[in-house]
């Protein structure tokens, strides 16, 4: 079978690396007829070396068969360009199935292009809901889930969310590919511990923060508030900056924070895992980083009012603090003071990619 995979944004390279590796393993065990041929398409949503190529190099992802070079732009324009390019590529490649990941505009365009051409869609990370439709990602997820033939859910909650929307056919609870990824990359990430020294921090004695959601970066006052809160934690705070945030901080006039807040360039995945593992506390509005904090047993403060990864909150490892500086500081202090709890294993057994392939191979 021919599988066309659409990726475009940083977390999608990480997720696709896991499944692509599992495809290679699957093919080794099959005769030629039963093999899966993967055609990788990069929309170009993320394009700077530190947001794209670094992940291909570090995770050994093969070069994409097609690169659409779409770049940045308003949502409609960006998604429209992707749709145009993806339709052509899909017509040319003639896949049996289109595989999309997560909730970005690349996911939406992949889903829309495939559905117009009546190609079955497989959605990895199906069924997640924040129930906040002001997030562009929430719209993308809902639409793609409703277009998909195969829905690969990371958690029992995501299966339930789909069921509440009447989607029960083609739903498979497989676990979370980000957990697979973390387990696979942990050892190599350990070799990147030198990043702590080069960024001037010591294990267990710093906080790590990431911010990139539009709800946060589009409002200068919100950004200023977050930086003020980070300055009150009583710890050095490393902030690897998404390019969107870097630009927004400049606009908000807070790109040179004083004291312990250190703005740095985005880091590679292995470097990020190393920084996360040794952090005393993580503060973030990222979906993936919240979950990595949980999986690495580092307390997390989420700079949003809701999360699609509720299990992390229920297990006591994640506090939702929004963007109010007092709430952030209070949540951070509570997280630092609290002892560890047993978080359980809500994200599968680390073999989500294999479970996905077993299903795909049967299509």
CA 83, distance to chain mean position in Å, is: 21
Nearer to ligand UD1 among residue 4 and residue 128 (C-beta): 128
Partner whose footprint covers residue 210, from ligand UD1, ligand UDP, none (CB < 5 to 8 Å by kind): ligand UDP
Nearer to ligand UD1 among residue 248 and residue 298 (C-beta): 248
Q: Per CB under 6 A, which region of 16-24, 247-255, 286-294, 335-343 contacts ligand UDP?
A: 286-294
Partner whose footprint covers residue 14, from ligand UDP, ligand UD1, none (CB < 5 to 8 Å by kind): ligand UDP
Contact 271, 195 (CB under 8 A): yes
What does the chain come to in residues? 363
Nearer to ligand UD1 among residue 42 and residue 319 (C-beta): 42
Instruction: Give the number of other CB atoms < 10 A from CB of residue 93.
Output: 17
Question: Per rule CB under 6 A, is residue 288 in the interface with ligand UDP?
Answer: yes
310 three-state secondary structure = helix
Partner whose footprint covers residue 176, from ligand UDP, ligand UD1, none (CB < 5 to 8 Å by kind): none
Nearer to ligand UDP among residue 26 and residue 269 (C-beta): 269
Q: Which two tokens stand for residue 48?
A: 């700077």
Residue 92 CB contacts under 8 Å (≥ 6 apart), including other chains: none
Residue 208 C-beta: closest distance to ligand UDP, Å = 9
CA pair distance 137, 64, nearest whole angstrom: 24
Q: Could you tell me the CA-to-CA distances from 294 to 8, 188, 259, 285, 289 in Å, in that order?
A: 25, 20, 28, 14, 9
Partner whose footprint covers residue 151, from ligand UDP, ligand UD1, none (CB < 5 to 8 Å by kind): none
Residue 172 among the catalytic residues: no
Sheet containing strand 37-42, strands side by side: 66-67, 37-42, 2-7, 97-101, 121-124, 150-153, 171-173
Residue 47 C-beta: closest distance to ligand UD1, Å = 4
Considering only 292, 308, 310, 311, the residue that binds ligand UDP (CB under 6 A) is 292
Q: Per CB under 6 A, which region of 64-72, 107-115, 214-222, 287-295 contacts ligand UDP?
A: 287-295
Nearer to ligand UD1 among residue 236 and residue 268 (C-beta): 268
Partner whose footprint covers residue 244, from ligand UD1, ligand UDP, none (CB < 5 to 8 Å by kind): ligand UD1
Residue 173 CB contacts under 8 Å (≥ 6 apart), including other chains: 153, 155, 156, 159
124: left (phi over 0), alpha (psi -120 to 50) or beta: beta
Residues binding ligand UD1 (CB under 6 A): 9-11, 45-48, 51, 72, 103-105, 136-137, 212, 243-244, 247
Q: What is the largest CA-CA distance in the chain?
A: 61
Contact 196, 168 (CB under 8 A): no
Cα Rg, the chain, nearest whole Å: 20
Q: Which two tokens stand for residue 3?
A: 């599988």
Half-sphere exposure of 190 (CA within 13 A, CB side): 5
Nearer to ligand UD1 among residue 72 and residue 92 (C-beta): 72
Nearest CA among 76, 80, 86, 219 for reference residue 136: 76
Question: Per rule CB under 6 A, is residue 14 in the interface with ligand UDP?
Answer: yes
Residue 276 C-beta: closest distance to ligand UDP, Å = 7
Residue window 238-267: x/- pattern of binding to ligand UDP, with contact defined by CB under 6 A: --x-------------------------xx
Question: Per rule CB under 6 A, is residue 269 in the interface with ligand UDP?
Answer: yes
Annotated active-site residue in 46, 212, 242, 270: 212
* Sites for ligand UDP among residues 194-233 (CB under 6 A): 210, 212
Nearer to ligand UD1 among residue 131 and residue 340 (C-beta): 131
Return the H-helix or E-strand segment holding 116. helix 105-116
Considering only 59, 70, 272, 331, the residue that binds ligand UDP (CB under 6 A) is 272
Half-sphere exposure of 282 (CA within 13 A, CB side): 32
Binding residue count for ligand UDP, defined by CB under 6 A:
16
Binding residues vs ligand UDP (CB under 6 A): 10-11, 14, 210, 212, 240, 266-269, 272, 286-289, 292
Residues designated as active site: 212
């Amino acid at each position: 079978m021919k599988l066309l995979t659409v990726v475009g944004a940083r977390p999608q390279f990480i997720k696709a690396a896991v499944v692509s590796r599992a495809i290679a393993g699957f093919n080794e065990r099959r005769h030629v007829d039963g093999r899966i041929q993967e055609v990788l398409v990069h929309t170009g949503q993320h394009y700077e070396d530190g947001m794209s190529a670094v992940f291909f190099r570090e995770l050994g992802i093969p070069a994409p068969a097609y690169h659409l070079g779409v770049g940045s732009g308003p949502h409609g324009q960006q998604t429209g360009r992707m749709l145009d390019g993806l339709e052509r590529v899909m017509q040319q490649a003639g896949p049996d199935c289109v595989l999309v990941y997560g909730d970005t505009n690349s996911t939406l365009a992949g889903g829309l292009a495939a559905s117009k051409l009546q190609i079955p869609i497989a959605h990895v990370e199906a069924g997640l809901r924040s129930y906040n439709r002001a997030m562009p990602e929430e719209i993308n997820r809902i639409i793609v889930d409703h277009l998909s033939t195969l829905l690969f859910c990371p958690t029992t909650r995501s299966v339930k969310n789909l069921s509440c929307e009447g989607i029960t056919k083609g739903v498979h609870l497989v676990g979370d590919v980000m957990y697979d990824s973390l387990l696979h990359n942990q050892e190599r990430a350990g070799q990147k511990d030198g990043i702590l020294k080069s960024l001037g921090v010591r294990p267990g004695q710093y906080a790590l923060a990431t911010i990139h959601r539009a709800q946060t970066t589009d409002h200068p006052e919100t950004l200023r508030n977050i930086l003020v809160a980070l300055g009150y934690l009583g710890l050095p705070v490393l902030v690897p900056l998404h390019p969107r945030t870097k630009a927004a901080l400049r606009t908000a006039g807070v790109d040179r924070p004083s004291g312990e807040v250190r703005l740095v360039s985005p880091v590679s995945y292995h470097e990020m895992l190393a920084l996360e593992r040794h952090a005393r506390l993580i503060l973030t509005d990222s979906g993936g980083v919240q979950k990595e904090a949980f999986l690495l047993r580092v307390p997390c403060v989420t700079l949003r009012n809701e999360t699609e990864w509720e299990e992390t909150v229920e297990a006591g490892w994640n506090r939702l603090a929004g963007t109010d500086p007092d709430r952030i500081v209070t949540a951070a202090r509570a997280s630092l003071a609290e002892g560890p709890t047993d978080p359980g294993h809500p994200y599968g057994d680390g073999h989500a990619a294999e479970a996905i392939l077993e299903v795909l191979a049967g299509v």
